[in-house]
Amino acid sequence: MPSALTKFREWLTGGELLPVDRLLIGAPDGALREAMSQGAPDAPLTLVHTGAAATEADALRAAKGKAHAMLWGRIVDGGGLDGGVVFAAHPPRVARNGAMVDPFKTLEPLAVKFAPGASPRFLAQFLAGVAYYDLGRYHDALRVLDNAAEPEAAYWRGLAHLMAGQDEEAFAAFNAVMDHTESLAQRGALPALAFGNAALALRVIGARGDSEGAKEKLGQAREMLSNFAAAIGDDPWYQAAAHYHAAGILVELGGAAEESARAALLREAMEQYEQALALVSLRSQPAAWAVIHRNLAATRRELASRVDDPAEAMALLKQSVRSLKKSAAAVTRQQWPADWAAAHDSLGDTYEEMARRAAAPREKLQYLAAAVGACRAALSARDPNGYAPDWAATLNNLASALTSLATMVGGSHGAGLAQEALRHYDQALTVFTETHFARYHQGVSANRAHAMILAARLAGEASSAGEIMET
């Protein structure tokens, strides 16, 4: 076997470096697969040939859905690997408590090309790091990739840091990639993607900073995203991601801006979300389509609270409802219960806000009934054994809608609704304790106190009415 391949396989299989047992090998003549298959039968590695992969595109199509990472290349004269080796990682879509990973959380290349002369040791480390990343094991990916100095490894370190919530480290890693822009320019979109991901990391850093520091960092992130969009070309997915994150930055800038400037920033954010939707297909990218609609709905609801015209506010809320229904329809309860529940929970909030703004009693009742129904649907897909704070938040929202409905219907029926609301508040308080969620505990406790007074009053009125009837 050629010495380079021997070393590559030793690095790949030695010390359980590779976290999965599926590595796809593609080559026009199958020689690479045959060479890799020789010897070491006990190595934790299963080779699956991509078939007659005459081109890189053929290899990528053959790899889809079959492995966590893929190698494509040729054996050249002299027994080494050529410079056309490509590693392809599938974007991480690892569920967390039944929730999808935000499809726009990172900007990822389909493949990375290496220049001739890449060492077998580095190739093995990189492949293992990519596979760990694809499995959602970000700390393991960092453990492997931290030993590699090459810019390609720095890029994937940045991705792993970003997914692990380590935004400062991610920003530093992507900046390290950008230091090699000139040498990487002939090998695909990696420099531009590093620039875009650095902007995403900076967005998160800015959003959690103090007001003035936040505005400065968010402004820088916005400018970086604009430059990324210009550098990446007309690829619709990356352009959609740029619009999506630009919208998020505008919403966050709105939160840090003076009251007089917030509405304009929110309107601009809505335009960015609309442009992102125009580039994303419901059929081929339902998760992304649903996420954009849910964020667009939240922005419309926030803008409704900022405008002076009641008719415009109600129109925005109705548009928000339509977006949330589209989001819920795009993600099934069975496949993504947390996201389906989140859309319905937001629907409940929106309907209750519409009930507060409605003038006619009949309309108020209709919106409150819809709010209760949406919250019950959300609760059917949430439980305390999943992500307990989400479950408790839905209980609080359901109880709030029930309390408002009880106030309107009154009588014994209203008293029953108020009693149900009390039970839901009590359940929510088992999660939102004073020790761990002080702010939420205070809010839910205040809501519960209001519901208790209402329940007592309605029960008293119902009792008095019963006594009068008996008389």
Give CA–CA dist 190/163, Å, rounded: 18
Identify the CATH number of the domain in which residue 224 sits.
1.25.40.10
Q: Are residues 60 and 111 in the same domain?
A: yes
Residues of the chain with pLDDT under 70: 1-101, 109-121, 124, 135, 181-189, 208-212, 462-471
Residue 229: per-residue pLDDT: 86
Residue 110 corresponds to which tokens in the numbers above?
A: 């389909």
Q: Are residues 205 and 273 in the same domain?
A: yes
Q: Are residues 14 and 26 in the same domain?
A: yes
Last residue of a domain, one of 147, 171, 190: 147
Residue that the structure tokens 């609760």 belong to: 379
Residue 1: per-residue pLDDT: 43
Q: Are residues 295 and 269 in the same domain?
A: no
Residue 462: per-residue pLDDT: 57
pLDDT in tens, 45-62: 444 445 555 566 666 666
Q: Are residues 228 and 287 in the same domain?
A: no
Q: Are residues 462 and 402 in the same domain?
A: yes
Last residue of a domain, one of 382, 412, 428: 382
Q: State the residue range of the domain holding 389.
A: 385-471
Residue 26: per-residue pLDDT: 46
Q: Are residues 14 and 126 in the same domain?
A: yes
Give CA–CA dist 104/126, Å, rounded: 23
Distances (CA, A) of 176 to 12, 169, 272, 456: 26, 11, 29, 64
Last residue of a domain, one of 382, 397, 424: 382
Residue 182: per-residue pLDDT: 60
Residue 258: per-residue pLDDT: 84
Q: Are residues 41 and 114 in the same domain?
A: yes
What backbone torsions phi and psi does residue 297 show, to the nearest 5 degrees?
-65, -45
pTM for this entry: 0.77
Residue 149: per-residue pLDDT: 78
Residue 118: per-residue pLDDT: 63
Residue 119: per-residue pLDDT: 66
Domain count, the chain: 4
Q: Are residues 273 and 333 in the same domain?
A: no
